Chain A
């Protein structure tokens, strides 16, 4: 399993989750968990995904970023270890 964290930050609009999920389904990425919250009026979503079947992570990150630009939100994809290292002893 190759766990990555996808975050989406921006103004809430119709279809953000649908578009991201459609993209992920298309490249065989399994979504393990989704949570969302509103911080300072901004929509914040986090997905924990298993990208075990993705060969080129850099390409996936770039495509998610481009998708974010299309929707008008910031999408970022990071390996889970940066969060584990920082927040778990």
Chain B
């Protein structure tokens, strides 16, 4: 039988160490909504989302009450819209209308974000993909809850450099159109290499075409819990360190597994995966950077950071896979800058640079995330940064992503406030030398040799 110390340990994690389930994300396939008539398509999309997700928020709240565990976000992901809209959309304006329908549906069911205004162009762009990508700036400016993502490359296909070039321009344009809100539109836009089909986290969530009609994916969190556990083993060797992270990750993930099973049972929708991620928030004590400090670094970014992050990421996975039958999504440590107080402090101190962050993305679960850069950064430079990150993902057979915010009107050192979970960030310097000729070459970077496994 459960004893009092175990009960107190769990409740301490919840009350003092920010243990929560970060998101229940309901994936909804919109493939059966496809129609060549835009108005009919819009109606079908709205109807399907509001019907399938009508109980999502209430179910989440009921589970919170039953187990006493906070579930921070209830969200929705849908089939990449470039596929859903391809038969009906003739112009980018048509895609903007679809984004507004998604926004309306999200508002109706009460979710704070809906992901899937997306295109998968790792090898090439269809006309429809291009129309959607050109619609992103206006869609991000006109909607509040819709998130957009574009997959630009994969280990199997290589990198679509035409799309990389285009996205540099699109990110810059999105920043311009939302400049009144510190270019907030770019916080809802992410580009990927090896994007997973079942990621529950925003801004990159979409419901992949390999998925069923509807599925429940759950993202767990808990950097504060890991940090507190590590504070009890200061000075111990790496074996003790790794064992502690692993055990803690197991416990955190089990809570996610419980919530996912219960949500699936209550809604009558199959359970997909648990995403075992350490997702920080701007709250003090809910930081991945603070874990790195607890491991023994003065600041995130100090020499040793990449190694510390690599072991952290690996132990989180090793503890997590034992705790859940199905693990997927991004699964690992997130290193966003604006959403992590320890990262913000490290940047302000001068300990953490863009280049060090890039190195860290080789060993963590995602990529360059929520990084504010000067508003006058050229589209070609943004494309160059994206290409570097895509190459890391392609060669290492892992997901990488870029979510940069060129903040219009701001320069290096200025602070930018995004609000809520998106946090705030100091504008970071970008390497000033040109990569224009490289980006302008056009075409594709071929898949790496080790991708030929057949």
User: Would A82 and B1 be within 8 Å (CB), given that A7-B7, A46-B7, A58-B62 are in contact?
Assistant: no
Query: At the interface, yes or no: A80 with Cβ under 8 Å from chain B?
Result: yes
Give B371 Cβ to nearest chain A Cβ, in Å: 34
Do the beta carbons of B8 and A87 come within 8 Å of each other? no
B-side contacts of A35, CB under 8 Å: 3-4
> In residues 1-37 of chain B, which contact A (Cβ within 8 Å)?
1-11
A-side contacts of B6, CB under 8 Å: 83, 86-87
Do the beta carbons of B65 and A48 come within 8 Å of each other? no
Known: A5-B7, A79-B66, A89-B322. 4 other contacts (CB 8 A): A58-B62, A86-B251, A87-B2, A87-B251
In which size bucket is the chain B interface?
A: 20 to 34
Interface string of B242-270 (1 = CB under 8 A from A): 00000000010011011000000000000
Do the beta carbons of B255 and A85 come within 8 Å of each other? yes
Task: Please list the residues of chain B having a beta carbon within 8 angstroms of any beta carbon in chain A.
Answer: 1-11, 62, 65-69, 251, 254-255, 257-258, 322
> In residues 9-57 of chain A, which contact B (Cβ within 8 Å)?
9, 33, 35-37, 39, 44, 46, 48, 57
Do the beta carbons of B10 and A82 come within 8 Å of each other? yes
Could you pull out 5 A-B pairs where Cβ atoms are within 8 angstroms?
A5-B2, A57-B66, A81-B258, A82-B68, A82-B69
B-side contacts of A9, CB under 8 Å: 11
Task: Please list the residues of chain A having a beta carbon within 8 angstroms of any beta carbon in chain B.
Answer: 5, 7, 9, 33, 35-37, 39, 44, 46, 48, 57-58, 61, 76-87, 89
Do the beta carbons of B66 and A78 come within 8 Å of each other? yes
CA of A89 to CA of B255, assembled, Å: 12
Q: Report the nearest B residue to A34, measured CB to CB.
A: B4
Do the beta carbons of B2 and A80 come within 8 Å of each other? yes
Give B437 Cβ to nearest chain A Cβ, in Å: 55
Give B193 Cβ to nearest chain A Cβ, in Å: 34
CA of A5 to CA of B2, assembled, Å: 9
Do the beta carbons of A46 and B4 come within 8 Å of each other? yes
Do the beta carbons of A61 and B65 come within 8 Å of each other? yes
Q: Report the nearest A residue to B5, measured CB to CB.
A: A37
Give B180 Cβ to nearest chain A Cβ, in Å: 42
Do the beta carbons of B8 and A44 come within 8 Å of each other? yes
Do the beta carbons of A7 and B66 come within 8 Å of each other? no
